[in-house]
Amino acid sequence: MPKKILIADDELPVAEMIKQALDAEGYETYKATQSLRFYDAVREHHPDLILLDLMMPYLEGDDELTLLNMNPETRGIPVVIVTAKADARQDLPRYRQMGVADIVIKPFQLDRLLQTIKGVIGPPDPIQTTLN
């Protein structure tokens, strides 16, 4: 079964670009482009990793992390923050306590994001083939 990644970003072109790149790598991806749908998407898809934008309308990344940590079923899901907030890395120690594995600053190199993802959950599972 492929590893599942939820992309939570309100910038549709960014979310779609990440989705296409991760799909091409072999990950199974889902998008949540509205912060109010984020938690529902987590519970529906049970991702192995969440890519989370910090600055979204209505509920910001900190709010989303709090929601994840309140529920034992979602508390252990690793999160990589993907944000345009230039000084976000200085808060990494605080974010680590909330389940954040790393922070990637926008604009980012796609290779850097893929390297970070593979460092957190590993490469996508190889495609299983059966011989008749």
- Dump pLDDT digits (tens) for 36-82: 899 999 999 999 999 999 988 888 888 999 999 999 999 999 999 99
pLDDT bin (cut points 50, 70, 90) of residue 131 is very low
| Lookup result for tokens 């990344």 | 61
Give SS3 for 82: strand
User: pTM (2 decimals)?
Assistant: 0.92
Question: For the residues 72-93, what does the mean pLDDT come to?
Answer: 94
Does any domain span residue 126?
no
Does some domain include residue 88? Answer: yes
> Is the residue at 62 inside a domain?
yes
User: How many domains does the chain contain in total?
Assistant: 1
Encoded tokens for 19: 């989705």
pLDDT computed for residue 57 by the predictor: 84
The answer to whether residue 132 sits within a structural domain is no
| Cβ proximity of 102 and 80 under 8 Å | yes
The parent domain of residue 82 ranges over 4-121
How is 22-78 classified by DSSP, letter by letter?
HHHHT-EEEEE-SHHHHHHHHHHH--SEEEE-S--SSS-HHHHHHHHHHSTTTTT--
Encoding tokens for residue 82? 């993907």
CATH number at residue 9: 3.40.50.2300
* Confidence tier at 127 by pLDDT (50, 70, 90): low
CA distance 62 to 66: 6
Average pLDDT (86-115) is: 94
Give CA separation, 83 vs 43, 46, 102, 109, in Å. 23, 22, 11, 13
